[in-house]
Amino acid sequence: MRPSIGIVSSTFLNYDGSFMQGGSERYTLMLCRLLYKLGYAPMVLQPSYNRTFSIVHKYDGVPIQVVGIGQPKDEAAYHEMLDRYLQQVDYELYREFFILFGRQSIRPAIAISHGIPFDDPSRLSPPTQAFWERLCAALGSITKLVSCD
């Protein structure tokens, strides 16, 4: 049995189940193909605040589970859903580092940080102490960090 990797991504499928066609989504699909060739079983989890139900798709052979929370900006419900889903996998990969803010990974985890939100002053108001505390906690909960952009 292949070790499983849960890839958490805030975007992958549109609401109608079609592929989003953006660069990040294409990279995720390419990453899934590579991981499969390397002997892993990748699957994508796409949390959604806007849905009250869950759907399971396969896109180009990649399992995708869209999980609805139904409560906009309910961080506790969001993290509870992630914990429930990620108990099924051997490894965690966060396509967007910010998803980790406010939670601890429960498995060996890799997070991808797109540097723009952190180093472009026009994208953020001055970070608060709470922001830095959440950032440091997120950094402390992962095994590896990949930074790009």
Q: What is the pTM of this model?
A: 0.80
Separation of CA 119 from chain center? 21
Q: What is the tens place of the pLDDT at every residue in 73-124?
A: 777 777 788 888 888 899 988 887 777 776 776 678 888 876 555 555 555 5
Which helix (H) or strand (E) segment holds residue 118: the answer is: helix 116-119
In angstroms, the CA 88 to CA 7 distance is: 12
